[in-house]
Amino acid sequence: MQNAILPVWASQVKREEISKLYSSDAMGIQDDSLVNEVAFAMLTRAESIMAVSKLHAENILNCPSCACAIQGDGSCFKCKCGWEISRSELHKTYKRKQLVGGAALPFIEKAIKSFPINGSYSDKMLWIDNLIHAFHGELNEQFEKTELAYRPIARNFIAGSNEQVIELIYNLAYSDNPDFMKNRSEWMDKLKKSYVPDNIKDKFSKV
């Protein structure tokens, strides 16, 4: 690598922030500051996932120096502004960070397009709830035929291990909003049919 500037990818949201938001909501407290903080953090994370997925699959990256699109040649990326990086060094910036969307990309792209930027507190809460209760693959043709989900999208958006993220969602303090109840019920059904390891599913599939 000949330049000090590296791409910056959005971090996963802390579990504590999600838990705090849902606890406040369940108590009837509409914390506009917190819902905006979480919603926009998840939006920027979604945008990073889309960018890294494009980079990983198509070797296309927006230059972190001038924002121009760069087509890599398989071994390095060179921009006309002079910025460059090797493919291996670039890979280190997103390796093991849950930034490759895979079968979740259709849902994530849909979420970005539907983000309620000028929406109400309730609009943003529902957007967050829909996103964290989705599963990889559920917008694919295969899911429509088999209803077999892959793994929770929340793993890409919320910090923690697979088990920690599932435990968080399982124990969230939900309000009596019917949309939230529907998402939770459907999430439990998808978890039981998912590719999540059986020892984790057995722990959280009691209902």
Burial category of 207 from C-beta neighbours within 10 Å (exposed 0-12, middle 13-18, buried 19 and up): exposed
Rounded CA separation 142/130 (Å)? 20
pLDDT of residue 195: 84
Global pTM value: 0.91
pLDDT in the model for residue 170:
94
Please name which of 145, 135, 140, 142 lies closest in space to residue 169, comparing C-alpha atoms. Answer: 135
> How do residues 86-139 score in pLDDT, each as one tens digit?
999 999 999 999 999 988 999 999 999 999 999 999 999 999 999 999 999 877
- Looking at residue 196, what is its pLDDT? 85
Mean pLDDT by 10 residues, the chain (207 residues): 79 98 97 98 98 94 94 92 93 95 93 97 98 87 61 96 95 94 92 86 73
Q: How far is CA 174 from the centre of its chain?
A: 20
> What's phi and psi for 84, nearest 5 deg?
-155, 160
